[in-house]
Amino acid sequence: MTATTSAPDSQEAVGATRPAPSSDVGPGASWFARISLVIVCFLFTVPTLGLLISSFRPREDIITSGWWTVVTGGNFSLDNYQAVLDVGMGPSFVNSLAVAVPATVIPILAAAFAAYAFAWMDFKGRELLFVLFVGLLVVPLQVAFVPLTQFFNNVGITNDFLKLWLAHTGFGMPLAVYILRNYIGSLPREVIESAQVDGASHFMTFWRLIIPLSVPALAAYAIFQFLWTWNDYLVALIFMTSGQEVVTITLAELVGSRGQDWHLLTAGAFISMAVPLIVFFGLQRFFVRGLTAGSVKG
Amino acid sequence: MGNAVQAVVAIAIGVGGVVALFWVLNAVVERLPKRQEELLKPYVFVGPAIAVVGLFLLYPAILTIWFSFQTRVGTPAQEFTLDNYVYLFTDSRLHSALINNLLWIIVVPTVAVAIGLLVAVLSDRLKPTSEKIAKSLIFMPMAISFVGASTIWLFIYAWRPPEVEQFGLLAALAGLIGDPPATPILQMSDFRLNSFALMAVVIWMQAGFAMVLLSAAIKNVPEDTIEAARIDGASEVQIFWRVTVPQIKSTIVVVTTTILILVLKIFDVPRVMTSGDFDTNVIANIFYDQAFTFGDRGRASVVVVALIVMTLPFMYLNIKRFREQEAQR
């Protein structure tokens, strides 16, 4: 399968290309290829572009003329962004960060410890326990919602953030363990053994050696999990019960209650997309690696 | 700003808490005699991961199966019943949703993989810079949330009465070709046209994912196999179908099944765009309504049991593939 996560293997990134074929036999890009690609790229970009342009147009203009009419001129301002921040998008943005950052760090750390043990320590049930994680990769999250709601009630966990961290940690764990174990298991045996000869404990080996060596895999998974939790709607919808909101919830509520207020929806959508887009354009190479490795997630 | 302070404190507690947990657990084990320490330490390392997976996935899965055989909460006693399974096999709303899910899992993976493959093959022939730009544009929707993507497409599907100017791109284009549509596309349930309009959103998001993986696979196809076919006089189209595709088959399978599992549980897009109305409902939305709108635990659970059954083949395939990989190590 393509989920190659072993260390020596550098994943193909979006920008990776193979050397151009020798000019005398290579077909090059025919006009057909070029034109088809331009059309597909145009079709894929237009939806986002239309929304982006509209988010800067005055409220009245958006719903009285198509956004494409701006080619002949129009008014632009940041008023829509101010307006949507005033109806709750601001606090939601902060809440999304407060959910997504720990919900990324916690599973990574727990999974890295487990991955190290699965790869380099001997213990009873190792194989069986790891197969459990592989099997759980595709389990639908829906299995957890009703029992977990009851569990949180019974145990008395009422803090929304804590509930979401715990839920995301549980849901993200199988993939994290799977990716990190593949990577950590492919580190050279001599490096780990030499550390132990020098008298380092497993705990020291883990912090001083494994974590620094695993940065590529950790970063790949971190970006994957961060976008997953930032973009999540369902888990937040179920576990955020005390009136706090994250960006996806606020945006969905705006769609439901103010579906005609396109000045709010367009700007709100862009505020919710800002962080993922920054991560995407800034860390595309790592993001691709995370996706590639994560292509078994359920 | 109190909100931001609260968030920073929350982040610090969450992140600090997990570091402290491992530090304490390790410190405790290191105080034990050497033999016991050696024996226990692996479990300290894997323990927390196993605990959360057990508590948040495995135990709930078992409970869900158990709940699916119980009468709904609120009835005098939680008795054993098969009523929920009768509901699963006879409810017409549920069956309508299942038909939609079936359409989703056939259409979305197929079209997304086809577009991904097309872009991967064609962009492979461009200069590196153009290739990178083309792929980034196709790939970008992948970073957006389903809710954000739904908003983007709601704007495209926006509809106004035919006598006023349309600001939704689709209705405006329809108006250019013929008469402006009399109803919004999301309400056109003939031939489940509106479901296809929802699928377009997810295809738009997933085609980039397919493209990235397929592109990586295509670049791993040995150049000499293609050269050999070219020397034998094969056309580019023949080379694609007879040389390239067979060599990237396993990637096509992985990408297709990954998208398939994703759309099997599709929830956000129908929820936000139509609330499942106008015959666009899907089973994950029925689950949500049963569990959290109507509070019927039994019916919600039986829907999840159906979902679990549908994912079992993929679970089996994953484990099988993992064992094969291990054997090769």
pLDDT digits (tens, 9 = 90+) for A48-94: 999 999 999 999 999 888 999 998 888 899 999 999 999 999 999 99
Q: Residue written as tokens 């069956």?
A: B95
Q: Quick one: B115 and B188 in the same domain?
A: yes
Higher pLDDT, B181 or A180: A180
The reply to whether B115 and B224 lie within a common domain is yes
CA B28 to each of CA A33, B15, B25, B36, B271: distance values in angstroms, whole numbers, following the listed order: 64, 21, 5, 11, 48
> Do residues B113 and B211 make contact, with C-beta atoms less than 8 angstroms apart?
no
What residues make up the domain containing B313?
A: 93-328
Average pLDDT value for residue range B35-53: 90
Over chain B, what is the mean pLDDT? 90
Is B118's CB within 8 Å of A273's CB? no
| CB pair distance less than 8 Å for B143 and A138 | no
In a domain, B77, yes or no: no
Cβ atoms B164, A67 nearer than 8 A: no
Amino acid at A195: A
- For residues B142 and B246, membership in a common domain is answered with yes
Q: Is the pLDDT at B86 greater than 70, yes or no?
A: yes
Whether the CB-CB separation of B229 and B165 falls below 8 Å is answered with no
Q: What is the mean pLDDT of chain A?
A: 85
Residues B206, B271, single domain; the answer is: yes
Cα separation, A125 vs B250, whole angstroms: 31
Q: Residue A109: what are its φ and ψ, rounded to 5°? A: -65, -50
Rounded distance between C-alpha atoms, residue B44 and residue B31, angstroms: 13
In a domain, B86, yes or no: no
Judge whether B291 lies within some domain.
yes
Identify whether residues B115 and B227 lie together within a single domain. Answer: yes
Residue B173's pLDDT band (boundaries 50, 70, 90)?
Answer: very high
For chain A, how long is the longest CA-to-CA vector? Answer: 75
Query: Both tokens of residue B166?
Result: 């349309």
Distance from CA of A31 to the nearest CA of B (A): 11
Domain count, chain B: 2
Q: Which residues pair with B80 in a beta bridge?
A: B70
Task: Read off the DSSP letter of residue B70.
Answer: B
pLDDT at B1 over 70: no
Q: Are residues B47 and B105 in the same domain?
A: no
Residue A236 confidence (pLDDT)? 96
Nearest by CB to B7, from A1, A44, A97: name it.
Answer: A97
The DSSP bridge partners found for residue B73 are B75
Instruction: Please write the tens of the pLDDT for every residue from A104-147.
Output: 999 999 999 999 999 999 899 999 999 999 999 999 999 999 99
Is there a contact between B64 and A146 if contact means CB atoms under 8 Å apart?
A: yes
- Same domain (yes/no): B60, B185: no
Question: How far, in Å, are A11, A140, A153, A174, B282 from residue A145 at the CA level?
Answer: 35, 10, 12, 17, 17
A72, A297, B177 from B158: Cα distances, Å: 22, 33, 17
The pLDDT assigned to B252 comes to: 94
Residue of chain A minimizing CA distance to B220: A18
B83 assigned to some structural domain = no
Token code pair at residue B31: 């105080």
pLDDT at residue A2, rounded to an integer:
35
Judged against a pLDDT cut of 70, whether residue A18 lies above it is answered with no
pTM score: 0.89
Task: Tell me if B266 sits within 8 A of B202, measured CB to CB.
Answer: yes
Secondary structure of residue B6 in the 3-state scheme: helix
Do B161 and B202 share a domain, yes or no? yes
Tell me the average pLDDT across A164-180: 93
% pLDDT > 70, chain B: 97
B22 pLDDT higher than 70: yes
For residue B235, tell me if it sits in a domain. yes
pLDDT value for B170: 93
For A295, phi then psi, to 5°, come to -75, 15
Q: Are residues B129 and B271 in the same domain?
A: yes
Give me the CATH number covering residue B161. 1.10.3720.10
Q: Is residue B118 part of a domain?
A: yes
Put simply, whether B146 touches A (Cβ < 8 Å) is yes
Q: Assess if residue B88 is contained within a domain.
A: no
Same domain, B30 and B157: no
Residues 286-315 of B with CB under 8 A from A: 287-288, 291-292, 297, 300-301, 303-304, 307-308, 311, 314-315
**Helix or strand holding residue A224 (H, E):** helix A215-231
**What integer pLDDT is reported at residue A293 of this predicted model?**
62
Segment B106-133 shows an average pLDDT of 92
B235: phi then psi, degrees, rounded to nearest 5: -75, 165
The question of ipTM being above 0.85 is answered as yes
Separation of alpha carbons A252 and B239, rounded Å? 47
Nearest-angstrom CA–CA distance, A88 and A74: 28
Q: Which comes out higher in pLDDT, residue B13 or B149? A: B149
Domains within chain A, CATH numbers bracketed: 78-293 (1.10.3720.10)
My answer on whether B99 and B60 are in the same domain is no
Least Cα distance to B255 among B201, B218, B212 occurs for B212
Mean pLDDT in residue range A148-173: 92
Can you tell me the distance from the alpha carbon of B227 to that of A17, in angstroms, rounded to the nearest whole number? 18
CB atoms within 10 A of CB A243: 6
Q: What is the pLDDT of residue B74?
A: 63
Q: Is-contact B296 B173, C-beta < 8 A? A: no
A175 to chain B, minimum CA–CA distance in Å? 11
Note the pLDDT of residue B329.
67
B205 with B319, same domain: the answer is yes
Rg over alpha carbons for chain A, rounded to the nearest Å, is 24
Instruction: Please check whether residue B144 lies inside any domain of the structure.
Output: yes
Q: Among B14, B119, B131, select the one facing A17 at the smallest CB separation.
A: B131
- The residue type at B241: W
Worst-scoring range by mean pLDDT, A57-61, A126-130, B121-125, B179-183? B179-183
The span from the CA of B289 to the CA of A187, in Å, is 47
